C-alpha cells in the first residue's frame, strides 16, 4: 500500500511493506516496514522504520530502522535493529 501527495514544490510518498519468510540470524518470522519519502525543492528525506509490535514468530519485539543513501544513482542501505534475546 502506498500514497503519493504532491503540494507545490514538495512531494511526499508513504508506503507499507511486509517482510515475509525472513531468516534473520537464524530466526524466522515477519515484520512490517513503514517508508516515508519527502522531497522539498529537490532535497530528499527518507525514513524507513519497523512498525512497532509488527514482528511475528521468532521476530516478535523487533525494532529498528533502515538508512538508505543515494550516491550517483546507486542506492545502498544499512539495517539497524534490536531483537529481544539477541546478542
Asked whether 33 and 48 are in contact (CB, 8 A), the reply is: yes
CATH class of the domain whose range is 2-82: mainly beta
Looking at residue 19, its pLDDT comes to 80
Domain residues of the chain, as ranges?
A: 2-82
Q: What is the pLDDT along the chain (87 residues), one digit of tens a residue?
A: 555 555 555 566 667 788 876 565 677 888 899 888 776 666 677 788 999 999 998 889 999 998 877 777 777 888 899 988 765
pLDDT of residue 63: 95
Which grid cell is 55?
A: 514482528
**What cell does 58 get?**
521468532
Look at residue 50 in the predicted model and tell me its pLDDT. Answer: 92
* Per-residue confidence (pLDDT) for residue 54, from 0 to 100: 92
Distance CA 84, CA 87 (A): 9
Amino acid at each position: 500500500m502506498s500514497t503519493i501527495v504532491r503540494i507545490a514544490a514538495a512531494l511526499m510518498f508513504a508506503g507499507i511493506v511486509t517482510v515475509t519468510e525472513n531468516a534473520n540470524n537464524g530466526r524466522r518470522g515477519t515484520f512490517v516496514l513503514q517508508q516515508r519519502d519527502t522531497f522539498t525543492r529537490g532535497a530528499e528525506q527518507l525514513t524507513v522504520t519497523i512498525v512497532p509490535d509488527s514482528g511475528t514468530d521468532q521476530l516478535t519485539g523487533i525494532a529498528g530502522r533502515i538508512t538508505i543513501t543515494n550516491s550517483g544513482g546507486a542506492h545502498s542501505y544499512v539495517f539497524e535493529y534490536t531483537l529481544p534475546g539477541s546478542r
